[in-house]
Structure 1
Amino acid sequence: MSERINVVIYYDGEVRDTENIIVFLSKSTTRLLFSQNIDLTELRKRIKRKIFRTTPMRVSSIKYRFYALVDPMRYDSFDIKGTRSLKVMVQTHLASGSPYLELYVQFSSPNEAFATSTSTAAQRNTRPLHDTSLGYYETSTRSDDVLPTTSTGEGTSYVIDDGGTDDESDVDPP
């Protein structure tokens, strides 16, 4: 039996990339539980149904936030675009021992050609983050050997391009 993953989903807000941390600012959050063997199409469908139920919206992007490899007080993130990046996300989460995985999801209507994205550079924040009223959390565990990436110390967002398509078959037929 595969392990179940507890997810906190942030949406309808913004992603701030500060010097030390990637912050998901959102008053809208929800939780989801899924199997570690889920495929990306099914994950998109479950997220959409959890948040919008029958409204014809589609998941336009998913961003995963995790502890940086070189500094336990710093977060990095990468976009989930295909099978490979989804597997890396699951492996990173399982190796971290964190009680939940954090995703920031953006939506668009099926008629929109492009979804908008908000990222904001901010001043360095040296205080630990734990403010559920703004929709972000900090966990206390991390892993040092999961992703083969190098941190730049500037809050870099990593994109794992695995040739995944932008097939948005998560919209239910009318």
Structure 2
Amino acid sequence: MNLKRIAIAGLATAGIVAGGAMLSSSPASADTVPADPAYGSWPVLKQGQTSENVRALQWFLNCETFKVKTPSHFGPATYAQVKNFQAHAEMSDVPDGNVGAHTWLALVEKFPKPMDYGNRNDCVKAVQVLLNKWRYNDDLPITGYHGDRTKNKMLRFQDAHGLPATGKVDTRTLHKLISTPAGK
């Protein structure tokens, strides 16, 4: 190889390395980040999935005024509302419509709604859906009211999962409800 070709190859390699460094320093999208250092892994939800976590996501979106039907299927309407929520929460320049750690945390921490005893709203419906993943022989009706049955099931869930059994709906409890597979 002559000197000119070596110089061009060196510059091309340097550009690839520098470009890779620039790519790795940009913030990850919601769909590529399943973990948060404070809580650990959060499930990643994408269009086409069906689950109780999707249904809870839909109730959380409704609670935040991003209205969507709650069929437990992550379809085009849910995808569009997730993107709207991500834009509203200023999560990135280009919302991706997928739900990972950043989106979950924004839903449950950045824009919290009262979900504790005595409250009635769509966020409580999300909590009831998540609590019903753990059968305990008493499925809760999805009423949106956090009364005695919801509080008692919350206390049992917290106790069984090593959380302080307060009956309060905090971020750590929501993380455990969302991230633990059903029945565990």
Scaled by the length of structure 2, the TM-score of the pair is 0.29
Bigger strand share: 1
Q: Greater relative contact order: 1 or 2 (C-alpha under 8 angstroms, separation 6 or more)?
A: 1
